[in-house]
């Protein structure tokens, strides 16, 4: 049986396995983050950190359904210093991606200034797409705001930087956003965050299932896989090849991950499936991908990454 190599690189980081938790999943506290590192995950993403700790939105703010989840967490996190400290004191050969955000652009810039001044040299992900901060739009839907924050950040930030994007739904949106992103020295993009401001309703009680924002929240899980596939594919077709892509959204099986990589993802993040199944999902999905690759005769991810075929007339 041929040896399968599941490794992938983003910037200077090598992931021995392509599966990492999505920001916000099993990563708010040190024990949670350690449990991801101790699992079969190929790396860790931290909860999106703000400058100061945040309690997040009122509960209930997360709800599982048969096809996925809805959340309006509101960025509960321990503050940037906590995550920098965790990384500084953690010995691991797995890459740790520091996710960072803010409730206003000035805070996001200030957070990145702190990271630039720190000893941290790993991947940093600027989250431009949280749909759950009450009264604040997702920056990634505002082209001018995206350009403005990247102008500010790229003027001083010299470490490997990625951006987490919201889902886009129109080909012209991909054209416009890719044209902006191509102007900056980004190491990667992460597509996609949850599909923002969906609603899940309990028909028995005739009530929404989460409390914040009148029940509106980010949709994750199987519902959103086609949207994630389309976003990864569309950005891979438009971005400079040096800008890598983390594919996120709706992966529950090795075949789902295979499809995202076929669309061009370099590595794959798992969200709702880890919330529902725990960190054992990393080993299961890795095994499923490996088995599928064996069946298809692929030995490395590069053998099929981005090779999605279209139908000819
Ligand atoms: C949240 O904390 O509300 C989720 C984070 C995100 O969607 O970026």
- pLDDT one-digit tens code per residue, 59-105: 999 999 999 999 999 999 999 999 999 999 999 999 999 999 999 99
Q: pLDDT tens for residues 145-185?
A: 999 999 999 999 999 999 999 999 999 999 999 999 999 99
Residue 74 Cα to ligand 1 midpoint, Å, equals 6
| Share of residues in the chain with pLDDT > 90 (%) | 99
Q: Which atom of ligand 1 is nearest to the CA of 77?
A: 2
Q: Is the pLDDT of residue 1 over 70?
A: no
Residue 272's pLDDT is: 98
| Exposed / middle / buried, residue 277 (Cβ in 10 Å: 0-12, 13-18, 19+) | middle
Place of tokens 């739904």: 169
Q: Is 74 annotated as a binding residue?
A: yes
What 8-state DSSP symbol labels residue 77? B
Tell me, using a 6 A CB cutoff, whether residue 271 lines ligand 1: no
Dist. CA 299 → ligand 1 center (Å): 35
Question: Residue with the nearest Cα to atom 2 of ligand 1?
Answer: 75
Question: Which of 130, 141, 192, when mutated, tests ligand 1's pocket best, judged by the most ligand atoms within 8 Å of its CB?
Answer: 130
Query: 24, 68, 195, 196: which to mutate for ligand 1, most atoms within 8 A of CB?
Result: 24
249 is in an annotated binding site: yes
Would you state the pLDDT for residue 305?
98
**Alpha helical stretches, state H, the chain:** 30-37, 80-88, 105-117, 143-154, 171-181, 225-238, 254-262, 272-277, 280-296
Q: Is 71 annotated as a binding residue?
A: yes
CB 74 less than 6 A from any atom of ligand 1: yes
Mutate to test the pocket of ligand 1, among 22, 56, 73 (most ligand atoms within 8 A of CB): 73
If phi > 0 it is left, if psi is from -120 to 50 it is alpha, else beta; for residue 85 that is alpha
| 204 has binding-site annotation | no
pLDDT at position 169 is: 98
d(CA 85, CA 275): 25
How many Å apart are CA 109 and CA 152, to the nearest integer? 7
Angle at 138 between CA 134 and CA 139, to 5 degrees: 130
Cα(307) to centroid of ligand 1, in Å? 31
Q: Are 28 and 78 in contact (CB under 8 A)?
A: yes
Q: What is the pTM of this model?
A: 0.98
119-141, pLDDT tens digit by residue? 999 999 999 999 999 999 999 99
Q: What does the pLDDT read at residue 2?
A: 75
Active site residues: 130
Angle at which helix 143-154 crosses helix 171-181, to 10 degrees, equals 20
Contact between residue 250 and residue 67 where contact means Cβ atoms under 8 Å apart? no
Task: Please tell me the distance from the alpha carbon of residue 38 to that of residue 97, in angstroms, as a whole number.
Answer: 16
Stretch 12-28: mean pLDDT: 98
Asked if residue 11 has its Cβ within 6 Å of ligand 1, the reply is no
What average pLDDT does range 241-246 have in this prediction? Answer: 98
pLDDT at 38 over 80: yes
194 has binding-site annotation: yes
Residue pLDDT, tens place only, 191-239 = 999 999 999 999 999 999 999 999 999 999 999 999 999 999 999 999 9
pLDDT of 26: 98
**CA distance to 2, 120, 133, 224, 271, per residue, from 218 (Å):** 41, 30, 11, 10, 12
């Amino acid at each position: 049986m041929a040896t399968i190599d599941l490794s992938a690189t983003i910037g200077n980081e090598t992931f021995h396995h392509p599966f990492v938790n999505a920001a916000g999943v099993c990563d708010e506290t040190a024990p949670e983050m350690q449990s991801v590192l101790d699992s079969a995950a190929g790396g860790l993403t931290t909860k999106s950190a703000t400058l100061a700790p945040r309690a997040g939105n009122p509960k209930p703010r997360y709800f599982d359904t048969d096809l996925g989840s809805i959340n309006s967490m509101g960025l509960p996190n321990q503050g940037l210093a906590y995550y920098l400290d965790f990384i500084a004191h953690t010995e691991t050969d797995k890459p740790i991606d520091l996710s960072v955000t803010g409730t206003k652009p000035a805070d996001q810039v200030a957070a990145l200034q702190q990271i630039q001044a720190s000893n941290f040299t790993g991947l940093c992900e600027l989250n431009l797409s949280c749909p759950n901060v009450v009264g604040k739009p997702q920056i990634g839907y505002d082209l001018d705001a995206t350009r403005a924050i990247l102008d500010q950040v790229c003027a001083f930030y010299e470490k490997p930087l990625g951006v987490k994007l919201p889902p886009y739904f129109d080909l012209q949106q991909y054209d416009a956003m890719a044209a902006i992103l191509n102007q900056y020295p980004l190491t990667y993009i992460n597509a996609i965050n949850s599909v923002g401001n969906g609603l899940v309703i309990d028909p028995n009680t005739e009530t929404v299932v989460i409390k914040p924002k009148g029940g509106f929240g980010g949709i994750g899980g199987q519902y959103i896989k086609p949207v994630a596939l389309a976003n990864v594919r569309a950005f891979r077709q438009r971005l400079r090849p040096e800008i890598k892509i983390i594919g996120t959204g709706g992966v529950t099986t090795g075949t789902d991950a295979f499809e995202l990589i076929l669309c061009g993802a370099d590595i794959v993040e798992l969200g709702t499936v880890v919330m529902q199944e725990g960190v054992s999902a990393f080993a299961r999905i890795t095994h499923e991908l490996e088995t599928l690759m064996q069946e298809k005769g692929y030995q490395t991810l590069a053998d099929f990454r981005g090779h999605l075929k279209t139908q000819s007339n």
